[in-house]
Amino acid sequence: MMHNHRVTDTFPHASRMAKGYDVEQVEAFLARARAAYEDAGRGPAMTSWHVRTVGFDLVRGGYDVEAVDAALDRIEDAFARREKQRGEERAGSSGWQSQLRTQEQSLRAQLARPDGQRFPRGSGLELTYDPDQVDELCRRIEESFGMGRPLPPDSVRLAVFKSRRGSRGYREAAVDAFLDRVVELLVVATV
């Protein structure tokens, strides 16, 4: 299918049958990210966390979701590289490694909980994540830390879980917040 791309289009648009990310929101965020990266401390503060957690409305005629998400992953990695570099400048290389180990220890404490008990359960009819699938990912993350070979950030970043209802599953916000912290550590550990 052909799209009439305007010269200003940064990404391909979603197909006519699918929704995509709101073009103006994406472009505004990219402009802020570019300014923050280029100004390096002089302009608005932005970190890899801001890039990882940004959200856009889904609209007809929007940008292709996969294309934007792939670009955001690259931008997140660029910010993470800078954060690592600054962390090493501030604390020295061994101090920075020590900070990462402390972060990893706090994550491992939650990873070590028994299956079915790693996260709070949902309530009522709220949508929750399948505990078996979440626990499986947590075991893989814990194993990779134990072997000193962190997983690629995308294997956590792109994880998808089946939905459950209420107490049959883990509360989504709790799992998402934890996995964000894992991704943050993996990104700075692997850049």
Percentage with pLDDT > 70 across the chain: 92
Written as six digits, the tokens of 101 are 């180990």
Nearest in space to 78 (alpha carbons), one of 42, 55, 51: 51
Residue with tokens 């972060």: 103
Residue count of the chain: 191
Domain range summary for the chain, segments of one domain joined by +: 1-111, 118-191
pLDDT (average), residues 170-188? 88
The confidence score (pLDDT) of residue 46 equals: 81
- pLDDT for 78-106, tens place per residue? 888 888 787 777 777 777 777 777 788 88
Helices H / strands E in the chain, number of each: 6, 5
Q: Report long-range pairs for 49-52 (Cβ below 8 Å, ≥24 apart).
A: 49/180, 49/184, 50/79, 51/75, 51/76, 51/79, 52/76, 52/157, 52/180, 52/183, 52/184
- pLDDT for 123-152, tens place per residue? 988 899 999 999 999 999 999 888 888 888
| Residue 115 predicted with pLDDT over 90 | yes
Strand, helix or coil for residue 42: coil
